[in-house]
């Protein structure tokens, strides 16, 4: 595996002139060459452009600093986030031939911060999946164990960072799509409060849930990328109108910090080793660990999937072959639509569009979609109650470590249930982070998930940074 230092370490090395951007890109290129044939983390690579930009930065002597905190840092972008003049496939046949005409706000901000865009990473088609097996470009394998999945849907972003194919990556998280692959690959995945990071240019899957997330080696790296991409954006009307809080990352945990472990999550775990791995670091720490009940999390997958599928059925209606992407022409328009879409979308996307359409259709909307909205509000209220007792909530990121390829693909409901711990924070619009537990299970990483009240992103990162050191 890669010997590449973390983003924050590299930034320091670059600043001190002990490393060059060109050298980082060269190392990344070597890692890609060695791992990509097996891992399949990238859909598109821009190595030559990355090299050219690195050379330019080196020649001009641009180093990471106030203006350009990410100068010379190679970053991978999940291929459902638009980069101008590059294809944006969403790992779907329906977008064949499509080239984005603009930069997503997060990409624009990364570029302005001096980051080098290495390539676009593989994902479950339109970010729908938990294993990265639903890709028109083939599955992603876990660099730590090629028999296992890298997680999903941001499997490519996680795998690329894990094997050193990028220093950091952007993923997206709708119900766990950044946190879960980060956990499976032994990385940090941070989902900001809904509204903290602009979604402009993130191809919509479920608009009320989607967030762009950093996937990095350390919490400090995640905080650095987050502080570049976060903040209000006039192009996204759902971004929170004020600037994010300042952060102060220290190694010490504040004495007496109250952490609640979510009873239902631990009760339902089949593998006690996962629960031990998640809880152990806290036992010796100076935190007050208490049990907190959030009973509604048990049905979070039902609530999450209904909302997400309904919104997906709406968001994916635009892929009709009229203006861009795939078109399979038939004599009539309606047939052209149905054949284009029927052949352009893979099984999982088709399944979700169908169920989502059903959940919104006349006669069913109240029993399904509206019921899920009421569930969502009630779940958020339960979280609010819980946060009256504790500062942070604790759970595993996923019920198991990375599972094997093919293990769940034939059983959609089983696959959905692997989001059971990540879906609640997404539904309640809360910030949540997955960090690797110090202990492994069967040699595989396990994710610790910490959740904070809404807009407490900075506090959550500060705490996670300290926990990472335990």
Partner 1 sequence: MQNSWSLPMQSKDYEIIIGLEVHAQLATRSKMFCRCAVDVNAPPNTKVCPICLGLPGVLPQANDQAIKLGIRAALALGCEVNLESSWARKHYFSPDLPKGYQITQYERPLAEHGELELPGMDKKVRIRRLHLEEDAGKLVHSTRETLVDFNRCGVPLAEIVTEPDIRSVEEADAYLKELRLVLRALGVSDAEMERGHFRCEPNISVRPKGEEELGVRSEIKNLNSFKAVREGIQRAAKDQIEWLKQGKEIVQTTYLWDEKLRELRPMRVKETAADYRYFPEPDLPPLILDESEIDEIKASLPELPAAKRKRLIGADLSEQDAEVLAAEPRWEEYFTGLLDAGASIKEASTWLLNEARGILAERKETLAEFKVPIEELASLIKLLRNGKLTRPAAKELLTAMADKGKGAAELMKELDLEIVSDENLLEDTARNVIAENPDACERYHKGKTNVIGFLLGRCMEKLRGKADPKAAREMLMKLLSEGK
Partner 2 sequence: MTLGAEIVKVADLARLELTAQEQKRFGAEFEKIVAYFAELQRLKLEGELLLGYPCPRTPDEPRDYAIEVERLSKHLKDGYFKIPPLLA
Which residues would be at the binding site for partner 1 (CB under 8 A)? 81-82, 88, 90, 95, 98, 100-102, 104, 199-204, 206-208, 234-238, 310-311, 313-314, 316-318, 320, 322-324, 333-334, 337, 357, 360-362, 365, 369
The Cα-based distances of 130 to 177, 199, 268, 432, 437 in angstroms read: 7, 21, 19, 17, 20
Subset of 232-251 contacting partner 2 (CB under 8 A) = 234, 237-238, 240-241
Out of partner 2, partner 1, none, what residue 310 binds, judged by CB under 5 to 8 A for its kind, is partner 1
Interacting residues of 293 by C-beta distance below 8 A, sequence separation 6+: 262, 263, 264, 386
Give me 163's structure tokens.
């094997």
Between 112 and 335, whose beta carbon lies closer to partner 2?
A: 335
Between 380 and 441, whose beta carbon lies closer to partner 1?
A: 380
- Catalytic-role residue among 177, 275, 395, 434: 177
279 binds partner 2 (CB under 8 A): no
Strands (E), 122-209: 141-142, 145-149, 168-173, 188-191
376 binds partner 2 (CB under 8 A): yes
The Cα-based distances of 178 to 123, 127, 294 in angstroms read: 11, 10, 23
> Is omega for the bond preceding 340 within 30 degrees of 0, making it cis?
no
Q: Is 177 a catalytic residue?
A: yes
Nearest to 259 by CA among 386, 171, 155, 125: 386
The answer to whether residues 76 and 35 touch, using CB atoms and an 8 Å cutoff, is no
Between 169 and 353, whose beta carbon lies closer to partner 2?
A: 353
Give me 356's structure tokens.
């989502």
The Cα-based distances of 94 to 152, 350, 388 in angstroms read: 20, 12, 46
Which one of 254, 374, 389, 469 is in contact with partner 2 (CB under 8 A)?
Answer: 374
Tokens 């990483």, residue located:
445
Three-state DSSP class for residue 376: helix
C-alpha span between 470 and 304 (Å, rounded): 33
Please list the residues that pair with 16 across neighbouring strands: none
- Which helix (H) or strand (E) covers residue 394, if one does? strand 392-396
Interacting residues of 366 by C-beta distance below 8 A, sequence separation 6+: none
- Number of chain positions touching partner 2 (CB under 8 A): 63
Out of partner 2, partner 1, none, what residue 414 binds, judged by CB under 5 to 8 A for its kind, is none
Distance in Å, CB of 327 to partner 2, minimum:
6
C-alpha span between 28 and 50 (Å, rounded): 10
Between 341 and 408, whose beta carbon lies closer to partner 2?
A: 341
Distance in Å, CB of 67 to partner 2, minimum:
27
Tokens 């088709």, residue located:
350
467 binds partner 2 (CB under 8 A): no
Out of partner 2, partner 1, none, what residue 203 binds, judged by CB under 5 to 8 A for its kind, is partner 1
338 binds partner 2 (CB under 8 A): yes
- Catalytic-role residue among 53, 68, 78, 120: 78
Distance in Å, CB of 364 to partner 1, minimum:
10
Distance in Å, CB of 230 to partner 2, minimum:
16
- Catalytic-role residue among 153, 227, 300, 395: 153
The answer to whether residues 141 and 150 touch, using CB atoms and an 8 Å cutoff, is yes
C-alpha span between 120 and 80 (Å, rounded): 8
Out of partner 2, partner 1, none, what residue 95 binds, judged by CB under 5 to 8 A for its kind, is partner 1
Q: Is 78 a catalytic residue?
A: yes
Between 186 and 325, whose beta carbon lies closer to partner 1?
A: 325
CB atoms within 10 A of CB 360: 18
Out of partner 1, partner 2, none, what residue 342 binds, judged by CB under 5 to 8 A for its kind, is partner 2
Between 16 and 334, whose beta carbon lies closer to partner 2?
A: 334
Q: Is 135 a catalytic residue?
A: no
Contact flags string 406-445 toward partner 2, x per CB under 8 A: ------xx--x-----------xx----------------
DSSP 94: G
C-alpha span between 78 and 121 (Å, rounded): 5
DSSP 297: G
322 binds partner 2 (CB under 8 A): yes
Between 12 and 84, whose beta carbon lies closer to partner 2?
A: 84
Please list the residues that pair with 291 across neighbouring strands: 261
Between 82 and 394, whose beta carbon lies closer to partner 2?
A: 82
318 binds partner 2 (CB under 8 A): no
* Order of strands, sheet of 211-216, starting from the edge strand that comes earlier in the sequence: 42-45, 116-121, 74-78, 168-173, 211-216, 188-191, 432-436, 447-451, 392-396, 258-262, 288-292
Subset of 64-103 contacting partner 2 (CB under 8 A) = 98-99, 101
First-to-last C-alpha distance (Å) of the chain: 24
Out of partner 2, partner 1, none, what residue 274 binds, judged by CB under 5 to 8 A for its kind, is none
Q: Which residues bind partner 2 (CB under 8 A)?
A: 98-99, 101, 195, 234, 237-238, 240-241, 296, 299, 302-303, 305-306, 313, 317, 320, 322-324, 327, 329-339, 341-343, 345, 350-351, 353-355, 357-359, 361, 367-368, 371-378, 380-381, 412-413, 416, 428-429
Q: Which residues are catalytic?
A: 78, 153, 177
């Amino acid at each position: 595996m890669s010997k590449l230092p973390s983003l924050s370490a590299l930034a320091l090395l670059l600043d001190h002139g002990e490393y060059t951007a060109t050298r980082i890109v060269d190392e990344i290129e070597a890692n890609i060459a060695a791992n990509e044939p097996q891992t399949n983390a990238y859909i598109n690579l821009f190595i030559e452009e990355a090299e050219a930009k690195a050379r330019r930065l080196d020649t001009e002597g641009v180093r990471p600093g106030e203006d350009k905190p990410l100068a010379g840092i190679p970053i991978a972008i999940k291929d459902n986030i638009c980069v101008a003049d590059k294809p944006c496939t969403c790992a779907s046949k329906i977008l064949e031939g499509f080239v984005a005409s603009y930069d997503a706000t997060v990409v624009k901000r990364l570029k302005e911060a001096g980051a080098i865009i290495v390539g676009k990473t593989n994902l479950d088609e339109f970010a729908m999946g938990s294993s990265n097996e639903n890709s028109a470009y083939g599955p992603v394998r876990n660099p730590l164990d090629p028999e296992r999945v890298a997680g999903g849907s941001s499997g490519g972003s996680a795998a690329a960072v894990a094997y050193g194919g990028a220093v950091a990556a952007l993923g997206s998280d709708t119900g766990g799509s950044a946190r879960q692959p980060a956990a499976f690959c032994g990385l940090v995945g941070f989902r900001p409060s809904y509204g903290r990071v602009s979604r402009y240019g993130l191809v919509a899957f479920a608009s009320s849930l989607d967030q762009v997330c950093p996937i990095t080696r350390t919490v400090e790296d995640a905080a650095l990328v987050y502080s570049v991409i976060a903040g209000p954006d006039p192009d996204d009307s759902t971004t929170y109108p004020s600037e994010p809080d300042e952060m102060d990352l220290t190694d010490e945990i504040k004495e007496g910090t109250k952490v609640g472990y979510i009873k239902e999550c631990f009760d339902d775990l089949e593998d006690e080793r996962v629960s031990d791995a998640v809880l152990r670091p806290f036992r010796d720490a100076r935190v007050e660990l208490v049990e907190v009940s959030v009973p509604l999390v048990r049905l979070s997958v039902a609530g999450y999937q209904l909302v997400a599928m309904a919104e997906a059925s709406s968001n994916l209606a635009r892929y009709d072959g009229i203006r861009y992407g795939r078109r399979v022409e038939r004599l009539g328009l309606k047939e052209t639509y149905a054949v284009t879409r029927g052949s352009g979308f893979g099984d999982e996307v088709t399944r979700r569009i169908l169920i989502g359409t059903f959940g919104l259709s006349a006669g069913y909307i109240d029993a399904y979609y509206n019921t899920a909205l009421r569930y969502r509000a009630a779940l958020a209220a339960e979280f609010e109650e819980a946060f009256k007792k504790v500062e942070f909530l604790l759970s595993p990121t996923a019920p198991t470590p990375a599972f094997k390829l093919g293990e769940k693909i034939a059983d959609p409901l089983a696959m959905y249930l692997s989001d059971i711990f990540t879906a609640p924070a997404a539904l309640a619009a809360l910030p949540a982070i997955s960090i690797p537990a110090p202990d492994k299970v069967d040699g595989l990483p396990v994710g610790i998930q910490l959740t904070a009240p809404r807009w407490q992103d900075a506090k959550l990162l500060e705490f996670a940074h300290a926990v990472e050191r335990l």
